[in-house]
Amino acid sequence: MEFKLTVYRETDGVTSISVDATDEQAALRQATANGYSVLSTRRSGGWTFGGRRDGAFPLLLVSQELLSLLRAGLNLVEAFETLAEKEQTGGTKTVLDRILAELYSGKPLSAALETFPGAFSPLYVATIRASERTGDIQRALERYVAYQSQLDRVRKSIVTAMIYPVLLIGVGGAVTLFLLGYVVPKFSRIFVERGTDLPWLTGVLVEWGTLLNEHSWQIGLAALAALALLVIAAARPEARALLVRQLWKVPGAGEKMRLFQLARMYRTLGMLLQGGMPIFAALGLVRGLLDPSLRGQLARATKQIGEGGATSQAMLDHGLSTPVATRMLRVGEQTGELGGMMERIAAFYDEELARTAEVFTRAFEPALMVLIGVIIGGIVLLMYLPIFELASSIE
């Protein structure tokens, strides 16, 4: 398998090389053995380091490349010069050139990043600013890359768990529509020509199939219009927020969504605290990441912490912790490792969510298959029921 690697070596600068390897890790080992620092890898399918929309700034990719250059021994300005030289055209090069100009003028990196709020979130800027106080930008980038990669893995696991059920529903729905709209009308003509008396359920099925067959264009256009409206609504933040609010009310699902929010909150807090940011300032940044239903609770917890309360007790009092997380927070407070303990709490929540997703898919997928099988089998049985009755009368 061939991999395209963007690499850096002091004698060659930034270059692209091709490597034949069994997998990505083997390609990385080959390049490292030849003295290269790997900035990114891709196959014929595209970038492996995080997908992005066209026109969006590839923050994770740039952070990974910047981290690789800093590990290779370049200073910050040299690293951004290298990144700017690597980019040929487009918005990414414009952003990197502007950042480089700000660095040339003597501004710190955090101030340069603040000029591009559309590319660099306040959380990212705050992480860099906190690291500038300690002079450890490389460690801050490592924490951010690990943080964002973990969030992406959680999102991908949720999406992956939903793919198979969606495919089942789509295929099952298509087969059901085919039976109702094409097969059932064909059978109904045979019954009408022979003057066969139909059982009541078969007659209802024939009426539905005839209606679907006679008005197929109208029904198809209505379905396409409904799908278009659904897509438009999904693209609107207000509609998504309304859907999320309704999901929060569903028993079981609401609790898991709360755990997902808490995992994200604790992971972000852990990253900021380990970067040297005070807890009070970190809580202010995290508030915007939470669902609106939890922001009021976090604001009250922040106030309690600002008045001298313990972080573990404030989180527990305002519903932002579980018994296990509270115990872990207390241990973190006693040992002075609150940031690291918050990251462990986030990992604990992630494992719980992963187990829930696995149990859900193992139970839901067979149940969905049984339901689709019952629907399709019921349609077939109702269509053959008059034939069975005719055969028994002949006997």
Reply yes or no on whether the pLDDT at 233 is more than 80. Answer: no
DSSP 38: E
- Check whether residue 166 and residue 255 sit in a common domain: yes
Average pLDDT over residues 351-367: 82
Tell me, what's the pLDDT at 21? 64
Average pLDDT over residues 79-101: 82
- Check whether residue 138 and residue 248 sit in a common domain: no
Average pLDDT over residues 83-107: 83
**Which structural domain range is residue 356 located in?**
153-395
Q: Identify the weakest region by mean pLDDT among 116-125, 166-175, 385-394.
A: 385-394
Of the candidates 123, 114, 70, 78, the residue with the CA atom closest to the CA atom of residue 95: 114
Domain end (from 133, 149, 165): 149
Torsion, CA 284, CA 287, CA 289, CA 293, rounded to 10: 180
- Check whether residue 161 and residue 138 sit in a common domain: no
Tell me, what's the pLDDT at 392? 64
- Check whether residue 183 and residue 323 sit in a common domain: yes
Tell me, what's the pLDDT at 93? 82
Average pLDDT over residues 79-87: 84
Average pLDDT over residues 211-229: 83
- Check whether residue 145 and residue 162 sit in a common domain: no
Exposed e or buried b per residue across 282-318, where buried means at least 16 C-beta atoms within 10 angstroms of its C-beta? bbbbbeebbeeebeeebeebbebbeeeeebbbbbbeb
- Check whether residue 142 and residue 223 sit in a common domain: no
Tell me, what's the pLDDT at 30? 72
Structure tokens at 139: 């460690």
Reply yes or no on whether the pLDDT at 2 is more than 80. Answer: no
Q: Say which CATH number the domain at 388 has.
A: 1.20.81.30
Tell me, what's the pLDDT at 46? 42
- Check whether residue 168 and residue 22 sit in a common domain: no
Q: Identify the weakest region by mean pLDDT among 20-34, 121-135, 211-225, 281-295.
A: 20-34
Reply yes or no on whether the pLDDT at 174 is more than 80. Answer: yes
C-alpha distance from residue 358 to each of 62, 261, 264, 352, 361 (Å):
33, 19, 20, 10, 5
- Check whether residue 106 and residue 250 sit in a common domain: no
Helix (H, G, I), strand (E, B) or coil at 170: helix
| pLDDT tens-digit series, residues 273-314 | 887 788 888 888 888 778 777 888 888 998 998 888 888 999
Contact yes or no for 79/66 (Cβ under 8 A): yes
Confidence of residue 51 (pLDDT cuts 50, 70, 90): very low
Helix (H, G, I), strand (E, B) or coil at 190: helix
Reply yes or no on whether the pLDDT at 53 is more than 50. Answer: no
- Check whether residue 108 and residue 217 sit in a common domain: no
- Check whether residue 210 and residue 83 sit in a common domain: no
* CB contact set of 312 (below 8 Å; sequence gap of 6+): 321, 326, 329, 330, 332, 333
Q: Residue for token digits 């207000």?
A: 238
- Check whether residue 140 and residue 198 sit in a common domain: no
DSSP 198: P
- Check whether residue 200 and residue 126 sit in a common domain: no
* CB contact set of 57 (below 8 Å; sequence gap of 6+): 91, 92, 95, 116, 118, 119, 120
Confidence of residue 45 (pLDDT cuts 50, 70, 90): very low
| pLDDT tens-digit series, residues 10-34 | 666 666 777 766 567 677 777 777 7
For the chain, the domain total comes to: 2
